[in-house]
Structures are given as structure tokens and as C-alpha cells.
Structure 1
Amino acid sequence: MANIPDFGKAKVLVIGDVMLDRFWHGSATRMSPEAPVPVVNVGEVDDRPGGAGNVAVNLAALGVSTTLSGLAGDDEHANVLRRAVESRGVRWSVMPCAAETIVKLRVLSRNQQLIRMDFEAPFDDYADDMFIQYVSNLIAEHDVVLLSDYAKGTLCRVEALIEVCRSQKIPCLVDPKGSDFSRYRGATMITPNLSEFEAVAGPCEQSDTKISAAARALCQEFEFDAVLVTRSERGMTLQPRAGEALHLPALAKEVFDVTGAGDTVISAVAAGIASQTSLEHATRLANIAAGLVVGKVGTASISRDELALAANGESVVNVPPDFGVVDETSLLAALSQIKANNQRVVMTNGCFDLLHPGHVSYLESASALGDVLIVAVNDDASVSRLKGPERPVNALSARMEVLAGLRSVSYVVPFTEDTPARLIEAVSPDVLVKGGDYAVADIAGHEHVIATGGEVIILDFLEGHSTTATLSRINESSSD
């Protein structure tokens, strides 16, 4: 069995550029008459911790006691960011200042990014003596300090922070930015990716020997204990100041998204060191974590349980099961991965006895509210109880197969009760959708969804289409 440290006893302080990653999701069905651009009808907003905040979230996902510090504006965006960070188990110790919180806004339609807008100004003027003292007071409380540099100004005096760490004999890991590594002199370790590394060390042509030699030279010149170079599909190389290099191959079986993989690597290394494991073993764990995270969609995190399973050679499901018809057990297993990927889950329910254009339009609108649409379908007995003994016209299996064939639908799952309230509580969707002339208070499961921070949305059905009307036309036609 692989040795997985007890991360729960570790304390890591993340200092760096904190920012809010904001996603606007909506449908884009027409072009603007004002310019050749699509018009996006924004349906929902998804806010996530970005920058150093994402690093802190990665640590907390492993079970590490994590504190986030840096600079942010005294504004509503900072409040939103704080809630997003704290909801993921991270302690917020970010110092407010007169600048505005950094926001990166992405507008998406059907998961396709249409535009990104950055709202930011440098924080250099606010990283003053007061800030250095504020952060220095936090350092002694932690086992490891992780400096996450995105060149936004929070770490413009990074030398002073490294010196505090050295004076207190606390390991200091740096995710560097830019081509001047002398700024990080004396850090325990830096973790550049290959392009960042070659910008300083020169071309290495993906040669293990050249990378090792150049990394050792940087260790000697800038007094690093080690340099860890992440090399994408070539894995990673750990070069200590003294001793042989450790070259680890990439472990990913499938690569879906490399977003945030560097954050996962340095977080896993920091967690390992803070848990009193060796740098070599911490790097091996980080390589396993990197192989897992690139198999997920979007910015994602790895849990200690996932890491333990993979480290011991057991199968870890990196992506949800194929979309389509599933039972409740399979659905809930898929949801654990979907939610770990920070994907937005939308849920609706109904009989869907005779699928018509009104249903199709409604489900497409529901799908646009998130990343994954789950449709819960009444079984045959519950349809009969609700609609009468003549219904359903189509058996449950047929109704589910037709729904699963729609491009807007991700999962179709049956339920046996008269209402899906119990299933809704088990799924705990981000958005619960119902079509027709309902009040929110009349929708089954609404209490749970609202209590857990979700939304309940009522959509209009397409006029002129209903199962009852369709059956009436069929009956009239057959009587002629």
C-alpha cells in the first residue's frame, strides 16, 4: 500500500494574487443588429476562486488546514470571493485595500467561451510594509508557506516574505511568474512549467539531462533547495541542489483539460511536505494528482481518497459514466465526479409520455442553465396514479430512451414516488427547473434546493403543445 500522509494535521498558508473567476452562462440564438456578434441571454452566474484562491481550494480538497492571504478590494466582488473560498473549507485572511478586486469574466454559451474580460489594476502600491507585517504574523502558525505569483502585484516584495520564512525555518514553495527567478532567491522550491523554466534557463529540447543540469544550476545560483519542472505530457522533473534528479512520466490515461494542473501539483507537494513526508515522495504524489486532475473537465480538485486509490493502483473514475439512461445509484456516483469538477447541475422532472416540440424547447432552455441536465421520469405506476388508468401511453423504458436521445439531456433517471422530492434531495442540484404555470412553493423539492443555496426556476412551455392536446387530436382522428 502506498503511504498517503494524514493531510488533516498539516497547516499551509497560501499567499498570492487572489481573483474572482466569474462565468456568465446563457443561450445565444441570434446575432446582434448592432454588430456581427452573438446576443447572449445570460441565465446564470457561476463564481469560483481564481489565482491563489484556486491553489488554496486544491489544498483544502486534500484535507489540509488551509489559510488564504493576499490583497483584495473592499467591495462586493471580494465578498463573493470570500464566500466561494470559505464554502470550500479555506480560512480567509485576505487584507482589504483601496484597489478593486481582480475579476476575470467569461461569457459562455453551451460551454463554448465567447469572450473573456479582465477587470484588474496592479496591487503593487498596496503591498507595503503594513501588508508584509500582516502576512508575516500568519507565517508562524503554519507548517508550509506557498507563494502563488500571477504578477498582479501582491508579491512584488516576495523577497521579504521568503526571508521571513527562512528566519522562522518554515519551508517556502513558489509558483513563479516571469523571467527573473532571482526574486525568489532562498525559496525552498520553485515549480515552473517547462516554458517558464526555459525562458530563464534556455532551450532544453525536452532532454532529461539538459533540464537536470539547468535546474541544478538555478538551485546553486539562487539558493533553492530544489526545482520542480512540470513538463506536460512528459511528466515532471525534480532536481534537488545536491543529488540525482527524479524524472517522473505523466500518468494521465486521458487528458480532458489541463486547466489548473499546475495548481494541483504545487498544492500536493506542499501538502506532502507539511505532513512531514520527503520531497521525493511528495513529488510522486503530486504526479499522481496531476494525472487525475487533467482527466477532469474545467478547473478541478483532487480529494485525498481519490489520491489514495490511484496511488495504490486502484481504478479511479476520472470522468462521469456515459450520458444516457441510468439508475439512481449510477447517477449519484457520476454526480460525485461532476460536482468535484465544479460543473453546474440542472434537474427537472415529469412524465414525458408523448414527447412533443414543447418538451424539446423546454429541455433545451433548461440545459442552457448549467453544464449537466438530469431528467427524472415518473415510472408507469406513478403516471397511472397521477394521470389515470389509461396512461402512460408509452412504457417507462421507451419514454426514457427517447429523452436520452435529445442533445440537451445528460442523464435520465426513473423514480417511483408520486413526487421526486426524495430524489431531488439525493441529487441536490444547483438549479431545479419546472415548466408551466407553477408557484415555486408548489414545486416538489424546492425547500431543499433553496436551503442548500440552489435556485428554483420556472420556464414557460411552448404554446399550442401538450400531451393532452396531442392525445385529443389522435382520438379525434381515430373516430373519424
Structure 2
Amino acid sequence: MQQLSSPPSAKPRILVVGDIMLDRYVIGEVSRISPEAPVPVLAAKHEENRPGGAANVAANISAMGGRATLLAVVGEDSASTELEACLQRYDVNTLFVKDSQGGTTQKTRLVVGSQQIARVDRDVRPTGQTQQRLLDEFERQVKGYDLVVFSDYAKGTLDRLPEFLDVAARQGVPTLVDPKRVTPAFYRGAYLLKPNNNEFIGLFGAYGSDQELVAKASAAIDELQLQHLVITRGAKGMVIVSAGGHTDFVPTRARDVFDVSGAGDTVLAALATELSAKRSISDAVHRANVAAGIAVSHPGTYVVSEQEIDAQDNDFSHEHPKVLTEDQLKIALVNPRLHGKKIVFTNGCFDILHPGHVRLLKAARALGDVLVLGLNSDDSVRKLKGPSRPINNFAHRAEVLAGLASVDYIVEFDAPTPLETIQYVQPDVLVKGGDYPVADIVGYSEVTARGGQVLALDFHNGYSTTKIVDEINKTRKS
């Protein structure tokens, strides 16, 4: 059995090989039908590029704590340059084999709001000569890595995968494979094979029960000399079948599913990173399951960070995934910023939640795409409101606020003012409720200096925590 060799204290060195693509998103609005044909006219407002295919796997590995190197074929074109720029954002090292006769695969999605209305694909297959150059480069590089990930989208890069697997086996480097072919022998000798349910059926045949699935998987492990089969089954979770008879059924993590694009890439990246870090197969699949839940809750392909997985994986954040530490919040805001989302910030004690609070937060959220709420710590509330406050401690206040659809993230601050929090959040819009001049709002200078907006929203008369507390005290006395 191949052993994962990276010492626990080092970042695992992971080589990703496979079909890569540049995912383009053209986002805009539709308000009319073309006079030339019965099709909608998209008025483009924003464009962005994201790494796709094996490039998405590499970006996720890097964000999850691995040292990722991507070995792949690209064309001598502007798309390869743009894709490399995307990967640099995630600190992915690239070993590109240029194919002068081909090009870089691209997928362009036309999006209105969060809905795709069309996709334009430019698929390019590498020549036989380029495939040989790729294999030669792999032979030179593989011994320097702890693990190799093969991300096969059946677009030609891995047409000679059995030869790659043989090279890795001779060097004693474990291999993880995301399959797309229907010939089982194509994957003989892999350390771990990760098909989805349809891919499993295509490779090993349909099954009528969980027991039959395990039997087919066990037979495949023996026949193909695998160590693990991890089958992803969408809402049914994942199944682990390992050499030696270990079997486990892992339920899915309940999340609102927004978009399943790239979820398989996320799982593959998490498995590679976790196994390279010496985690057991059960722990690795558990973490991959958490990562997949995060990925599908965002539109389009999404790069999941180690900090996001940690935040979802501890008990408090599992129950209250919106409540983050300062470090977790910084990471959580990376992807929204990369995708051009507008960050709104507001703050307060919110000791007893009342309609005025709810209306303020709803209005604040409407000013952007992500609302971050800075919530005073218990000590901070006492300093501001007196020794009898807060009525509700931080955990209780945070749990209630996390239940509001308008609130995306909550972060605690202990200082008398939220200035330090504002400085690391760097909001595009800063909001406070009240009728005082905006220039008096804490953080005004810092936000406006970066071109941001500062707004004082209407205060809703008749609603006040202090007033509620006074009414309760009067009722007690009477």
C-alpha cells in the first residue's frame, strides 16, 4: 500500500494534472427581445474569470492549505494568460505545456442575476505530440510531490492516464482520480477513485440497494487494485468503500443548494489535501462533505478555503454558520470581493431585537450583496449601557440575529467603537440608523477615503431596547 509521505507540519505538495478551462461569466440584465431573432438581449454589466476543471481543483487545494502545482495543456492564446492570472490569486504554481496547434478550453456563461441563460463552449483537444510532452514532463516532476490528483473531464489531456498511473506507481506516489470514462481498467492502480453516482454506474453497473453498491465497489477495489472508492451521491451524501472491508455512509450536510457547478472538484481537492495531511479516509471524507456543502451554496464555481471548512466544522459554527471570528470573516469575504459583490457593514448591541432593528437590517442589506453585522461583546455593552446590560448575552443575541435572512455574517467586537472592525472589513457601504450627520459616523473617513459610501438610515421611532426594559421594570413594580 502506498503511503502518504508529507510530514504533518509541512504543507502537502500536491500535483494536479488534467483538463483545465477558463470559466468566463458575463453578468448583466435583460430588458428586451432582439429584433433579429426571438432571443433575449443581454446588456453586460460585469465580467469575471474563474478557474475551471482541474484548475478549479488546484485553486481549492491551495485555498484549503496545500501547495498546489497544476500541470496541464493550454494554447498560445490570451485565455491561457487570463487563466494563469486567476490561478495566481490562489498561489497556484503552473506548469503549462503549450499546444501551438490548439487553444485553451473556455466556457462562457451568460448570466442574469443568478440565472444562466446560455453557455458558449470552446473545447480544444491536445494533439498526440502535446500529450507525449505532457507525459514526459510528468515523469520529470512526479517524484517531487506527496500526492497526484488526476482531474479527467474526457477532453483529451488524460487519454493516456494508465501510463501516468504507472509512472506514479513506480515512484511510489499515491494518486487520486476523478473519472469520466466508462472503462474500469483505465483506472487500475489508483490509490483512490472518486466517481459520482452516475459515473459509478457507468463504470461498474447499476445497483438496486446499498448492499449491492458496496458489493460492486468491493469487487472493483479487488479487480483494479484500488485502496479506496469514494462515491458522491448528491443529496444522499457519500459512500466510502476501502480495501480491507471498511465501509461508511456519510450523510450530506444540510445546506441551501444554489449551484452544484464544480462541487466534484471541491470534494476531490478536499480529499487530496486532507489525506496528504495524514487524516484518515473517514475524516477526509467528512471534511470534503463540509467543503461541498459550502461550494453548492454559492453561484458558479466557488473556491472553498480551509478557514471556511474549519468554521463549518466546529460545533458553534455548525449551528450558527453566520457567526465568524475576525480571521474567518476575512477569508469569507475574499470570494465576494473577487466576484465584484458589494459589502455592507453596520453595527450595534441588538440586546432585545425589535421591529426597528429588523427594518434597519433589511434596509441595510438592500444596499449591497453581503451584510456584515458588527455585534458588541457583552463587556462592550456593559460599558456603553451600564452594569445591568446586556439582557441577552452575546451567544443568544448572535443566534437570534443569525436567523434573519438579511444578515450574512456576524462578528463580535469588544472595543467601544467598531472602528477596528470597519478597518479590516473594508465595507463598500457603511450604515447606521439615526438622524445625525453622516460625517459623525465612526468609520466615515476610512470608508470614504477608499471611495465607499456612508449612510444614516431613518430611525424608526417608538422602538427602543431601553424603552422595552423600562416598560418591563414598570410592570414588575406595579
TM-score (structure 1 length as normaliser): 0.69
SS at structure 1 position matched to 2:249: strand
For 2:359 and 2:294, how far apart are their aligned partners in 1? 36
Q: Which runs of 5+ in 2 are unaligned?
A: 1-6, 347-355, 375-418, 430-444, 453-478
1:289 matched to 2:284: no
Equivalent of 2:253 in 232, 244, 251 = 251
Alignment of 1:2-401 (within 5 A): 8-98=10-100, 99-205=102-208, 207-316=209-318, 336-340=331-335, 344-345=339-340, 372-374=341-343
Q: How many residues align?
A: 382
How far did residue 291 of structure 1 move? 3.5
Q: 1:343 to 1:36 in 2, by over 3 A?
A: farther
CA contact (8 A) 1:74 1:100 kept: yes
How far did residue 161 of structure 1 move? 0.7
CA contact (8 A) 1:18 1:70 kept: yes
Q: 1:402 to 1:282 in 2, by over 3 A?
A: closer
For 1:333 and 1:132, how far apart are their aligned partners in 2? 40
> What residue identity is the alignment partner of 1:223?
Q
CA contact (8 A) 1:186 1:222 kept: yes
For 1:270 and 1:341, how far apart are their aligned partners in 2? 25
For 1:265 and 1:320, how far apart are their aligned partners in 2? 22
How far did residue 211 of structure 1 move? 1.0
SS at structure 2 position matched to 1:21: strand
How far did residue 178 of structure 1 move? 2.3
Q: 1:429 to 1:103 in 2, by over 3 A?
A: farther
How far did residue 64 of structure 1 move? 0.5
Corresponding residue for residue 418 of structure 1: none
> What residue identity is the alignment partner of 2:30?
A
How far did residue 184 of structure 1 move? 1.3
SS at structure 1 position matched to 2:235: helix
> What residue identity is the alignment partner of 1:261?
A
How far did residue 9 of structure 1 move? 2.2
Q: Choose 219-228 or 101-110, whichever is displaced more.
A: 219-228
- Aligned-residue identity in percent: 32
Q: CA RMSD in A?
A: 3.8
SS at structure 1 position matched to 2:48: strand
Q: Which runs of 5+ in 1 are unaligned?
A: 322-328, 346-371, 378-395, 415-420, 432-442, 450-455, 457-480
CA contact (8 A) 1:320 1:335 kept: no
SS at structure 2 position matched to 1:94: strand
Q: 1:232 to 1:409 in 2, by over 3 A?
A: closer
Q: Choose 40-49 or 329-338, whichever is displaced more.
A: 329-338
> What residue identity is the alignment partner of 2:107?
K
Q: 1:42 to 1:309 in 2, by over 3 A?
A: closer
SS at structure 2 position matched to 1:238: strand
CA contact (8 A) 1:69 1:93 kept: yes
Give deviations 1:392-431, integer Å, cap 9, x for gaps.
xxxx9999679558697765999xxxxxx99997555799
CA contact (8 A) 2:427 2:447 kept: no
SS at structure 1 position matched to 2:144: coil
TM-score (structure 2 length as normaliser): 0.70
CA contact (8 A) 1:166 1:186 kept: yes
CA contact (8 A) 2:72 2:96 kept: yes
CA contact (8 A) 1:122 1:153 kept: yes
